[in-house]
Structure 1
Amino acid sequence: MSTQTHAKGVAAQRLASARALMSREGIDAWLVPSADPHLSEYLPGYWQGRQWLCGFNGSVGTLVITHDFAGLWVDSRYWEQAEKELAGSGVELVKLLPGQQGPLEWLADQAVADSVVAVDGTVLAVASSRALASKLYERGARLRTDMDLLNELWRDRPALPANPVYEHLPPQASESRRDKIERLRKSMLERDADWHFIATLDDIAWLFNLRGSDVSYNPVFICFALIGPNSVTLFVAGDKVSKFVRESLERDGVSLLEYTQIGAALREVPGDARLLLDPAKVTCGLLDYLDAQVSLVEALNPTTQFKAQKNAEDTRHIRRVMEQDGAALCEFFAWLDGALGREPVSELDIDEQLSLARKRRPGYICPSFATIAGFNGNGAMPHYRASEAAFAQIEGDGLLLIDSGGQYLGGTTDITRMVPVGRLSAEQKQDCSRVLKGVIALSRAHFPKGILSPLLDAIARAPIWADEVNYGHGTGHGVGYFLNVHEGPQVIAYQAPATPQTAMLPGMITSIEPGTYRPGRWGVRIENLVINQPAGQSEFGEFLRFETLTLCPIDTRCLDLSMLSAEEKGWLNAYHAHVNERLSPLLQGAGLAWLRARTAAV
Structure 2
Amino acid sequence: MSSDTSTATRPANLTDSGPDAAARLDLLRNELKRRGLDGFVVPITDEYMSEYVGSYAQRMAWLTGFQGSAGSAALLGDKAAVFTDGRYTIQVREQVPGDLYDYVDVPASSPAKWLVKNAKPGMKVGYDAWLHSVDWVKATAKVLAAKGAELVATDGNPIDAVWESQPAQSPAEAKVHDDTHAGKSVAAKRQEIADWLKENDCDATIVTALDSVAWLFNLRGSDVTHTPVALAYAIVHADATAELFIAPGKVTDAVKQHLGNSVRLHARDDFEAGLADLAGKTVAADPERAVAGIFEALEAAGAKIERLRDPVVLAKAVKNVAEIRGHKAAQARDGAALTKFLRWMENEAPKGEQTELSAVDRLLAFREDTGKLLDTSFDTISGAGPNGALCHYRVDEASNRRIAPGMLYLVDSGGQYADGTTDVTRTIPVGEPTAENRRRFTQVLKGHIAVDRARFPAGTTGGQLDTLARQFLWADGVDYAHGTGHGVGSFLAVHEGPQSIAPPHSKPGTDEPLRPGMILSNEPGYYKEGGFGIRIENLVLVVPVEVAGAEKQVLGFETLTFAPIERDLIDVALLTDEELAWLNDYHARTLALLAPQLEGEDKAWLEEKCAPISR
* TM-score, with length taken from structure 2: 0.93
Letter matched to residue 504 of structure 1: L
Letter matched to residue 575 of structure 2: L
5 Å matches for 1:91-130? 91-96=101-106, 98=107, 100-130=108-138
How far residue 291 of structure 1 moved from its aligned partner, in angstroms, is 4.2
Q: Which of 240, 247, 250 pairs up with 2:250? A: 240
5 Å matches for 1:323-362? 323-342=332-351, 344-362=353-371
Q: Which of 543, 568, 577 pairs up with 2:588? A: 577
Partner of 1:219: 228
Residues 32-68 of structure 1 show CA distances to partners (whole Å, capped at 9, x for unaligned) of: 0001100111111111111111111112210111112
Partner Cα distance (1:596, 1:269) in 2 = 62
How far residue 212 of structure 1 moved from its aligned partner, in angstroms, is 0.3
Partner Cα distance (1:75, 1:285) in 2 = 26
Residues 182-203 of structure 1 show CA distances to partners (whole Å, capped at 9, x for unaligned) of: 1111111111111110110000
Residues 470-520 of structure 1 show CA distances to partners (whole Å, capped at 9, x for unaligned) of: 111111111001000000001111153576961111110011111111111
Moved more, 199-208 or 106-115: 106-115
Q: Would the alpha carbon gap of residues 11 and 438 (structure 1) be closer, same or farther in structure 2, given more than 3 Å must change?
A: same
Question: Any stretches of 5+ residues in structure 1 without a counterpart?
Answer: none
Partner Cα distance (2:510, 2:488) in 1 = 19
Partner of 2:576: 565
Residues 334-378 of structure 1 show CA distances to partners (whole Å, capped at 9, x for unaligned) of: 222222334721111111111111112253211000001101100
Moved more, 492-501 or 125-134: 492-501
2:289 aligned with 1:281, yes or no?
Answer: yes
Contact 2:202 2:238 in 1 (8 A): no
Letter matched to residue 116 of structure 2: A
Question: Any stretches of 5+ residues in structure 2 without a counterpart?
Answer: 1-12
2:488 aligned with 1:475, yes or no?
Answer: no
Partner of 2:3: none
| Identity level (%) | 37
Contact 1:219 1:483 in 2 (8 A): yes
Partner Cα distance (1:232, 1:8) in 2 = 43
5 Å matches for 1:160-199? 160-199=169-208
Moved more, 82-91 or 232-241: 82-91
Contact 1:172 1:410 in 2 (8 A): yes
Letter matched to residue 54 of structure 1: T
Letter matched to residue 546 of structure 1: F
Give the secondary structure class of the aligned counterpart of 2:182. coil
Contact 2:380 2:412 in 1 (8 A): yes
How far residue 286 of structure 1 moved from its aligned partner, in angstroms, is 2.4
Partner Cα distance (1:264, 1:94) in 2 = 39
Moved more, 406-415 or 19-28: 19-28
Partner of 1:598: 609
Contact 1:167 1:210 in 2 (8 A): yes
Moved more, 375-384 or 389-398: 389-398
Count of residue pairs the alignment pairs up:
596
Q: Which of 113, 131, 139 pairs up with 1:131? A: 139
Letter matched to residue 219 of structure 2: L
Moved more, 413-422 or 289-298: 289-298
Letter matched to residue 129 of structure 1: V
2:562 aligned with 1:548, yes or no?
Answer: no
Q: Which of 599, 602, 606 pairs up with 1:588? A: 599
Partner Cα distance (2:492, 2:591) in 1 = 28
RMSD (CA atoms): 2.0
Partner of 1:149: 158
Contact 1:9 1:89 in 2 (8 A): no
Contact 2:172 2:221 in 1 (8 A): yes
Q: Would the alpha carbon gap of residues 601 and 109 (structure 1) be closer, same or farther in structure 2, given more than 3 Å must change?
A: same
Partner Cα distance (1:461, 1:447) in 2 = 17
Q: Would the alpha carbon gap of residues 332 and 178 (structure 1) be closer, same or farther in structure 2, given more than 3 Å must change?
A: same
Moved more, 362-371 or 473-482: 362-371
Contact 1:275 1:294 in 2 (8 A): yes
Contact 1:223 1:234 in 2 (8 A): yes
Letter matched to residue 580 of structure 2: K
Partner of 1:257: 266
Partner of 1:508: 518
Partner of 2:464: 455
Contact 1:489 1:501 in 2 (8 A): no
Partner Cα distance (1:105, 1:326) in 2 = 45
Partner Cα distance (1:341, 1:460) in 2 = 31
Partner Cα distance (2:558, 2:219) in 1 = 28
Partner Cα distance (1:171, 1:565) in 2 = 43
How far residue 216 of structure 1 moved from its aligned partner, in angstroms, is 0.8
How far residue 320 of structure 1 moved from its aligned partner, in angstroms, is 1.3
Partner Cα distance (1:90, 1:158) in 2 = 25
Give the secondary structure class of the aligned counterpart of 1:553. coil
Letter matched to residue 480 of structure 1: G
Q: Which of 21, 24, 34 pairs up with 1:24? A: 34
Partner of 1:385: 394
How far residue 314 of structure 1 moved from its aligned partner, in angstroms, is 1.6
Letter matched to residue 518 of structure 1: K
Q: Would the alpha carbon gap of residues 58 and 5 (structure 1) be closer, same or farther in structure 2, given more than 3 Å must change?
A: closer
Partner Cα distance (1:53, 1:315) in 2 = 41
2:435 aligned with 1:439, yes or no?
Answer: no
Residues 271-310 of structure 1 show CA distances to partners (whole Å, capped at 9, x for unaligned) of: 2x11011101011112222244311111211110001001
Give the secondary structure class of the aligned counterpart of 2:90. helix
Partner Cα distance (1:563, 1:258) in 2 = 60
Letter matched to residue 307 of structure 1: K
How far residue 385 of structure 1 moved from its aligned partner, in angstroms, is 1.5
Give the secondary structure class of the aligned counterpart of 2:269. helix
Moved more, 396-405 or 22-31: 22-31
Residues 535-594 of structure 1 show CA distances to partners (whole Å, capped at 9, x for unaligned) of: 247664212101111011101111222111111111111111111111111111122112
